[in-house]
């Protein structure tokens, strides 16, 4: 036997509304008075909701949205810290001569990384071995971008180098780091004449050298030598020799002393 369903009339509340209706202490009132009362309560609640929505709209209107956007922008800026650019870009090179293999000096030289900000320098420095960890006869160079650390480079061919001899591995690391910081920080008055610096790991004594462009300019070279000693806070005498002299004699120090 089929069960006949009774359709809801417009005056009947939907089941969901009835289920969601608030329950009081007693049975719900019925009749015109109750309907009028219910309508008043609904209107009152609707007015409160509208007022709250209006208040939110005023708080998060153009000014509120701008404040929120500004706050989000500050958070984003804090998350991505602005980097500090250097006056020029620098390139790290590494030279590891292969034993038993023929080839001229510098044939095993490799360009590692070029940077132009303080943050990128420290990121690089903290991810490569210190000078004291270089193997025997290995070299590490930091030169201005565009200059190859070879005597034959046009920027270097008429220059020379100031050399600091390092008695211990600790001194080797100390001198190398402070020379790097002095270079990228543009601490030398005659910095335009500087090509870069090299750390040489050698059997008898490790050394750090600054390469310059114009060996013939004694005043410029002496200024660089004196400032280098001040930066490193050393009293040892350091020597400068031109690359032309170094090609003739393997002994550095045929030129100026500071």
Q: Domain map of the chain by residue range?
A: 85-257
The SS3 call for residue 1 is coil
- Non-local (6+) Cβ contacts of 27 within 8 A are none
Q: In the CATH scheme, what architecture does the domain 85-257 have? A: 2-Layer Sandwich (3.30)
Q: What is the pTM for the complete model shown?
A: 0.68
Nearest to 179 by CA among 202, 190, 163, 157: 163
Cα 186 to Cα 85: distance, rounded to the nearest angstrom: 12
Rounded to 10 deg, the angle between the 169-184 and 118-125 helix axes is 160
Could you give the percent of the chain with pLDDT greater than 70? 64
Residue 7 φ then ψ, to 5°:
-65, 150
Task: Express each pLDDT in 147-185 by its tens digit.
Answer: 999 999 999 999 999 999 999 999 999 999 999 999 999
Please, what is the Cα angle at 180 between 177 and 184, to 5 degrees? Answer: 145
């Amino acid at each position: 036997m089929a069960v006949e369903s009774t359709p809801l009339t417009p005056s009947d509340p939907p089941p969901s509304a009835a289920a969601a209706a608030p329950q009081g202490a007693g049975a719900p009132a019925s009749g015109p008075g109750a309907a009028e009362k219910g309508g008043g309560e609904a209107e009152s609640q609707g007015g409160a909701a509208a007022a709250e929505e209006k208040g939110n709209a005023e708080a998060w209107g153009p000014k509120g949205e701008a404040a929120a956007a500004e706050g989000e922008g500050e958070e984003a800026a804090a998350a991505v810290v602005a980097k500090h650019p250097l006056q020029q870009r620098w390139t790290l090179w590494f030279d590891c001569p292969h034993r038993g293999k023929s080839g001229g000096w510098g044939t095993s030289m490799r360009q590692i990384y070029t940077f132009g900000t303080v943050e990128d320098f420290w990121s690089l420095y903290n991810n490569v071995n210190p000078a004291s960890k270089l193997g025997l006869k290995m070299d590490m160079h930091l030169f201005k971008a565009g200059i190859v650390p070879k005597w034959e480079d046009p920027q270097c061919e008429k220059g020379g180098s100031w050399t600091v001899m390092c008695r211990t591995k600790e001194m080797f690391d100390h001198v190398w780091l402070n020379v790097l910081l002095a270079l990228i920080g543009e601490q030398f008055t005659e910095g335009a004449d500087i090509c870069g610096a090299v750390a040489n790991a050698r059997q008898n004594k490790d050394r750090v050298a600054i390469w310059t462009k114009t060996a013939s300019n004694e005043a410029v070279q002496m200024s660089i030598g004196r400032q280098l000693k001040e930066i490193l806070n050393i009293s040892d005498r350091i020597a400068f020799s031109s690359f032309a002299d170094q090609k003739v004699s393997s002994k550095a120090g045929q030129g100026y002393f500071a």
